[in-house]
Amino acid sequence: MFFLKKLIYYFYEKKLNKEVSDKKAPSHVGIILDGNRRYAERKGFTNVSQGHRQGADKIDEVILWCLELKIKIVTIWGFSTDNFNRREGEVNSLFNIIKSKLELYIDSDFIDKNKIKVSIIGKKDLLPDDLKDVIKRLEEKTNSYSNLYLYIALGYGGRQEICDALGKFIADNFYNISSAIKEDENYKNEIYPQTLSCGRLSNLITIDNISKYLYATDVPDPELIIRTSGEVRLSGFLLWQSAYSEYYFCDAYWPEFRKIDFLRAIRSYQFRQIRQGK
């Protein structure tokens, strides 16, 4: 029975692979890696960190599938701002797993051979110093690579990203506008520049201008976002960027995510009518 099941799986995967290969794949895929803890609990592991470790191992496998389909950009959500609210022991364990994974990437033949540029997005200032050091070394090591762009969201929250982008935008533009007003011949008192500068500043708040201040700039929006574990929500993942994304929700927990699950997600995207609000 096991052999028969494996044989059916083999031919079904080949069929799916041919179907998706004949059509255009998305250039940017976002993935919410959900279900590591529930997977560990279902398996009866004594520590949920075992689920997170297996989830970390799954990442390379999925990146390889993306390379096969010539998907150019992959953004994965590794640690959210909400995850800081978990028990201290689990948070520390997560950071250790993430750090170990990124350290492996620094001297990884897989990363070097496939020319994968790795970038971390999120509130990096909230991360432990030793993890920030590993991030810096990895980003410097892979900076010149361009075959596939891998963005790993750590300490990331979609609302926080928008707040940070708006804050940086105001900081960069308010002073320049205020200085210009003070040189205006109609400048008379302290209230006038504050009021007028806010008016001018609001006129500069556009989608294009705010987009320049997101964690990852000049990156096309994801065309497809995949979430594992059966949860049907985004939980704040790429809120700004996902306005016109297609979504695919998969029941499999992240460590059990199979190639046929991935190919089904791509096929689902390919059969949809991509309108982008038109």
Instruction: Please identify every residue annotated as catalytic.
Output: 34, 83
Tell me the C-alpha to C-alpha distance, in Å, between residue 179 and each of 104, 168, 183, 193, 253.
49, 18, 7, 9, 54
DSSP, collapsed to helix, strand or coil, labels residue 44 as coil
Structure tokens at 23: 């059509």
Residue 142: how many other CB atoms lie within 10 Å: 21
Contacts of 276 (CB under 8 A, 6+ apart): 244
Q: Exposed (0-12), middle (13-18) or buried (19+): which is 255, by Cβ within 10 Å?
A: buried
Structure tokens at 261: 């699950």
Q: Which residues pair with 247 in a beta bridge?
A: 225
Q: Exposed (0-12), middle (13-18) or buried (19+): which is 30, by Cβ within 10 Å?
A: buried
- C-alpha 268/C-alpha 224 separation (Å) is 10
- Whether 222 contacts 238, CB under 8 Å: yes
Contacts of 251 (CB under 8 A, 6+ apart): 229, 230
Which amino acid, residue 270? Q
Packed helices 49-68 and 88-106: angle between N→C axes, nearest 10 degrees: 40
